[in-house]
Amino acid sequence: MSGVYARRIGVVVASAALAATSGLLTAPTAQAAMPTPVAASTARTYLSQLTVSAEGSSTGYSRDLFPHWITQSGACDTREVVLKRDGTNVTQNSSCTAVSGSWYSQYDGATWTAASDLDIDHMVPLAEAWRSGASSWTTAQRQSFANDLTRPQLIAVTDNVNQSKGDQDPATWLPSRTAYRCTYARAWVHVKHYYNLTVDSAEKSALQSALNGC
């Protein structure tokens, strides 16, 4: 594990050095991104409309109940579509696998040049959705949620950061990069509102605080 982190630190340091020499210390302006979430004012309205309820049980939950990554077109599945969308100068092979490019992780500010260092995060995690109402959905509905390219639900980020998030909601996890927390809260509320998912009281309070900082 230490070797993995050492490699990552090296990549991040090298990326920072490259950015410094080119005068680019923020996310690449030419980079594409996930669909823009609703404005903070709209997100506050949406949040007030969400049903507040104690989080449901995880009983019966399985990632397999949310089929992903499905084919989007040709040989391209949802993961590859997001990697292409969220990266810069991404090259794909005949199987639609990203073989080169650069990715800026909005959650932690790291830049990666290997697709294997990226996870595609579900903004509202699948298990969180299950506990918030998706347990009663059909498999088709869960598949749509897990592969939603229209709402701000999918984003390419540093893999171990995504793994540290797990299935936590904003009451216990927010991106370490504070400049992204407003966007994160807007996206979270946007997705929950669209899919008519519930929020628990601690989650709602955390979201209100994040949106107040927008």
At position 120, the amino acid (one-letter code) is I
Q: How confident is the model at residue 190 (pLDDT cuts 50, 70, 90)?
A: very high
Q: What is the dihedral of CA 31, 36, 39, 40, to 10 degrees?
A: -70
DSSP string, 36-55: PPPPHHHHHHHHHHSPB---
At position 123, the amino acid (one-letter code) is M
Mean pLDDT of 70-83: 97
Q: How far apart are CA 154 and CA 34, in angstroms?
A: 7
Query: What confidence tens digit (pLDDT) does each residue in 3-39 have?
Result: 433 334 333 333 333 333 333 333 334 456 899 999 9
Query: What confidence tens digit (pLDDT) does each residue in 46-55 have?
Result: 999 999 999 9
Residues 6+ apart with CB under 8 A from 77: 69, 70, 71, 96
Mean pLDDT of 182-187: 98
State pTM to two decimals. 0.85
Residues 6+ apart with CB under 8 A from 170: 184, 185, 188, 203, 206, 207, 210
> At residue 181, what are phi and psi to the nearest 5 degrees?
-65, -35
Query: What confidence tens digit (pLDDT) does each residue in 142-181 have?
Result: 999 999 999 999 999 999 999 999 999 999 999 999 999 9
